[in-house]
Structure 1
Amino acid sequence: MGKGIIISEEVITGKIYVIRGQKVMMDRDLAELYQVETKQLKRQVRRNIERFPADFMFELNKMELENWRSQFGTSNASDKMGLRYAPMVFTEQGVAMLSSVLNSPTAIRVNIQIIRVFTKIRKVLTDNLNLKLEIEQIKKKLSNQSKNIELVFEYLDELNSKLERPKKPRTKIGYKK
């Protein structure tokens, strides 16, 4: 990947998973992007563990690991996908913190790219939420308008039925001839 490391957004996005309701990246994927060994990345994290609270980084439990493997059709226990130990996964904040413990120029450049992708994802999700809210407001307005239109038609039907009824002759008031 060389000096001017450019990793496509698609590659980074493809390495972001949702685990425990959070968007995270796996230690091995990050190590690959940073061009370091996974064990080196984990070693640096463990040396600086105080920088990685649970909302920045956590290790997958057995069930999460099995679910993650099965999502990719690689549930072969003998393969273990090169995983001897439970993988560490990093949230957006954890990825940002990695730049302080992996202080190589490559790690810094890749980190900037990853953070930009996380930011774009957040923006898309926010835009999507705003769009859904606007659609709901439009639905409410349309619902109210359709109720008003129904009411207008009810009034028109009442008027029509009044017009169609035969009128009783009215008794005249005044002088009789």
Structure 2
Amino acid sequence: MASLVPVHDIERRIFLIRGHKVMLDHGLAELYGVATKALNQAVKRNKERFPGDFVFRLTAGERDEVVTICDHLRQLKFSPSSPFAFTENGVAMLSSVLRSRRAIMVNVRIMRTFTRLRHLISTHHELARKLEVLERKVESHDQSISGIFDVIRDMMEPAEEPRRPIGFQPRSPEKCREEGGLSQ
């Protein structure tokens, strides 16, 4: 039964909202094979199991942003109420409220997907850090290479030798004495 829910179908339903990876009630209801209304009623009947860090209602702005990003959620645009967003812990808690075999199997897949995404994000952060180190090294090398090119350009340009002035220039008496031309 778990093969009925491909991982990519779960991944496309996970959003980053308020700094949390969440799934919307509509998407979860589709995966569990229940009506969104039934899922939300089960949550409302068990409010003590779903504190604010497990589930929260999207603001109108957040709902509009999600609808803009995801074409498959366009029906939410005209919904009179904003959807609930379930964090990873909220999704885990749903398994204690929805006890069908399908809900359990889907929940296992969802939890594995969250774990995989967490691993990918940590790998992504490590790669980003390494890339930043490499960028700094490249910047340093660029500056060094630029300095080398400046020195090479300076060496390629011949130094201008001072030119003798045009016309007759009388020698100074000191210069004549140095050359042995004037006696004292």
**TM-score, scaled to structure 2:** 0.69
Cα 1:70–1:108 shift into 2, 3 Å = same
Distance, in Å, in 1 between the alignment partners of 2:11 and 2:72 is 20
Q: Which moved more, 1:113-122 or 1:130-139?
A: 130-139
Letter in 2 for 1:53: P
Q: Does residue 66 of the first structure (1) align with residue 64 of the second (2)?
A: yes
Q: Which residue of 1 aligns with 2:107?
A: 111
Long gaps (5+) in structure 2:
152-184
Distance, in Å, in 2 between the alignment partners of 1:4 and 1:18 is 25
Q: Which residue of 2 aligns with 1:42?
A: 40
Letter in 2 for 1:44: A
Q: What secondary structure, in the 3-state scheme, does the structure 2 residue paired with 1:32 have?
A: helix
Q: Which residue of 2 aligns with 1:169?
A: none
Q: Which moved more, 1:99-108 or 1:18-27?
A: 18-27
Distance, in Å, in 2 between the alignment partners of 1:74 and 1:106 is 23
Long gaps (5+) in structure 1:
156-177
Q: Which residue of 1 aligns with 2:10?
A: 12
Q: Which residue of 2 aligns with 1:121?
A: 117
Identity among equivalent positions (%) equals 38
**TM-score, scaled to structure 1:** 0.71
- Residue 66 (structure 1) shift: 2.3
Q: Does residue 99 of the first structure (1) align with residue 95 of the second (2)?
A: yes
Asked if the contact 1:57/1:90 (under 8 Å) is kept, the reply is yes
Q: Which residue of 1 aligns with 2:20?
A: 22
- How many residue pairs are counted as aligned between the two chains? 162
Distance, in Å, in 2 between the alignment partners of 1:19 and 1:130 is 23
Asked if the contact 1:5/1:106 (under 8 Å) is kept, the reply is no
Which of the two has higher C-alpha Rg? 2
Q: Which residue of 2 aligns with 1:172?
A: none
Q: Which residue of 1 aligns with 2:55?
A: 57
Q: Which residue of 1 aligns with 2:180?
A: none
Distance, in Å, in 1 between the alignment partners of 2:129 and 2:119 is 15
Asked if the contact 1:66/1:75 (under 8 Å) is kept, the reply is no
Distance, in Å, in 2 between the alignment partners of 1:4 and 1:75 is 24
Asked if the contact 2:13/2:27 (under 8 Å) is kept, the reply is yes
Asked if the contact 1:74/1:81 (under 8 Å) is kept, the reply is no
Distance, in Å, in 2 between the alignment partners of 1:75 and 1:10 is 16
- Residue 18 (structure 1) shift: 2.1
Aligned CA RMSD, in angstroms, stands at 3.3
- Residue 75 (structure 1) shift: 9.8
Letter in 2 for 1:11: D
Cα 1:23–1:61 shift into 2, 3 Å = same
Distance, in Å, in 2 between the alignment partners of 1:154 and 1:26 is 59
